[in-house]
Chain A
């Protein structure tokens, strides 16, 4: 399989990684080698098995719907680069055209 430059650029956008041209090229060619190795997955017969998403036996773990301890908002905001009046501050979101 070959990974085109456009594929790599597309995946970088999906991953929100602003890679420069040289980095895209290097990572792209490394991914190609890795994907070539990974192709051996297709040799395994999986016609009679289902997917494993997790190996634990626990399902639908719930707790009682009661208030518990939680972080005070000032503490939760404490690691943010910018906050104001109990909110995280970010730039305008109307420009998000990368996926378009």
Chain B
């Protein structure tokens, strides 16, 4: 199933040239062959997948036209997404062996549509990282060069799509964790407007920033998956109930007459010159398609990283307080309750999680709250207002997704240089905007991604711009060396 998209597989399933069971067998065989070098999965869910494939076969037989395009198509889930009775670890030792008693809303919507879940994908522990090296169960590789990282934290999801095992996977994005691995792995990655997709059943990292979204091989596929998972949910009070409309409606409209802004601060210092060159070429393509480009300024970008690294750790230190050895997960027994907490959390959490819990606890602690947390919340307002002002003059923004291409494992061992990976994606989370990464070339043989950002709830405009660019170029048809081995 090399490089075939959801749309193509949906067509093949209906014309009878394949079956859900055959697609599943191919996906599992390919996953098993690729795993020794890739480690994209923490677990394959063969039994669940076989049940789902058989049910999808019946759904397609009953009503081929009425069935979702996702019916019978194999997929994978980042291991921060809860599935009833299926081990879900968030890449952490503290949740090793934990089986959630319920399925999250976004996942359930895919299952109801007939999706076939092949497995749970590798990720940075509790989604904290930009390389998947922080997984407690070992890093994942990049299908373009397995010595390099696939990005993160949704690195396993990006890797398995780029390897040609499945046409799509779900990830989660708190500061770039869908878009950055998509960029580094040469696939499409979409982070919806904050509040569009229910977070019920997503293991929480930073609740005011987290969103679930798809990693796919095409922009159309991203829109198809988004349409299936988005929309109000009474189980998540931050999930917006306003009507979704048809996210696919704008595909094919082109960009003629659209005003695209290029944030000066996203193209300057810290961006690899080769990455900048690829993105400038992409901008020229969009201009050739009739969009008008202009430079804009988001002057507080320089403080975005600092703002994020107060707010996200603060929220994570609070969210991760629940891992106390009492209700679920690891417990290191001790007669003293306090000692039990200390030992359980010391043993269960990896070093990056400890670092962020420490940073967040410090920022929230008495005497530092105003200087750090309250200040960061105010700067967040400034950053969001700058976006809002820029969007008075332009319809969308275009920029690089990541300052660099995929780096070699072990190359970024100091925390701050790893944090810099997300410098042009995390402001989008701070402002709650929709953003996508779409392949835009290579440097020299590693993928580069173009980021498109739109105002809140204009997710369809993100698809419109990204789709126009994708259809005018061939990058999305390039296959990683590992995809070439797919059945």
Residues of A within 8 A of B (CB): 7-8, 10-12, 14-20, 23, 27, 30-31, 33-35, 37-44, 46, 49-58, 61, 63, 71, 75-76, 78-82, 88, 90-93, 95-98
Complex contact A96–B416 (CB within 8 A): no
Interface residue? B305 (CB, 8 A): yes
**Are B194 and A17 in touch, CB under 8 angstroms?**
no
Known: A37-B305, A50-B381. A79 touches B416 (CB 8 A): no
Q: Which residues of B contact A79 (CB under 8 A)?
A: 98-99, 101, 327-329
Q: For residue A7, give the distance in angstroms from its CB to the closest CB of chain B.
A: 8
Cβ contacts A to B, 23 pairs, < 8 Å: A15-B357, A15-B358, A16-B321, A16-B324, A17-B342, A17-B346, A17-B349, A19-B346, A19-B354, A27-B358, A31-B359, A46-B375, A46-B381, A51-B377, A51-B380, A52-B378, A55-B431, A57-B240, A71-B101, A79-B101, A90-B337, A91-B334, A92-B335
Cα–Cα, bound, A78→B376 (Å) = 39
Residues of A within 8 A of B381 (CB): 46, 49-52
Within 8 Å by CB of A56, from B240, B324, B327, lies: B240
Q: What is the minimal beta-carbon distance from B102 to any residue of chain A, in angstroms?
A: 7
Is there contact, CB below 8 Å, between B238 and A16? no
Chain B: minimal CB distance from A36 (Å): 9
B195 in contact (CB, < 8 A): yes
Q: Is there an interface contact between A18 and B346, defined as CB atoms closer than 8 Å?
A: yes
Roughly how many angstroms separate A53 CA and B432 CA in the complex, as a whole number?
12
Q: Which residues of B contact A76 (CB under 8 A)?
A: 101
Q: Chain A CB within 10 Å — which of B336, B375, B379 has the most?
A: B379
Checking A11, A50, A53, A55 against B358 with a beta-carbon cut-off of 8 angstroms, the contacting residue is: A11
Partner of A41, one of B306, B336, B361, B432: B306
- Contacts A11-B358, A17-B349 given: A58-B337 contact, CB under 8 Å? no
> Do A17 and B208 have beta carbons less than 8 Å apart?
no
Q: A16-B324, A54-B238, A82-B331 are in contact. Are A90 and B340 (CB under 8 A)?
A: yes
Measured CA separation A61–B303 after assembly (Å): 32
Q: In angstroms, how far is the closest chain A Cβ from the Cβ of B346?
A: 4
Q: Does B309 contact A (CB under 8 A)?
A: yes
Cross-chain contact A49 with B327 (CB below 8 angstroms): no
Measured CA separation A16–B302 after assembly (Å): 33
Contact of A18 among B195, B234, B306, B343 (CB under 8 A): B343
A61 to chain B, nearest CB (A): 4
List 9 A-B pairs, minimum CB-CB distance, nearest first.
Answer: A18-B342, A55-B432, A79-B328, A51-B377, A81-B331, A46-B378, A61-B237, A18-B346, A15-B361
**Assembled-state Cα–Cα distance A8/B372 (Å):** 16
Q: Are B355 and A44 in contact (CB under 8 A)?
A: no
Q: Is the CB of A16 within 8 A of B379?
A: no
Cβ–Cβ contact B385 & A27, under 8 A? no
Other-chain contact of A52, B324, B357, B371, B384 (Cβ < 8 Å): B384
Q: Which residues does chain A contribute within 8 Å of B99, judged by CB atoms?
A: 78-79
Q: Report if A96-B101 is in contact (Cβ < 8 Å); known contacts: A14-B361, A55-B432, A79-B328.
A: no
Residue of B nearest to A38 (CB): B306
Q: Are A11 and B361 in contact (CB under 8 A)?
A: yes
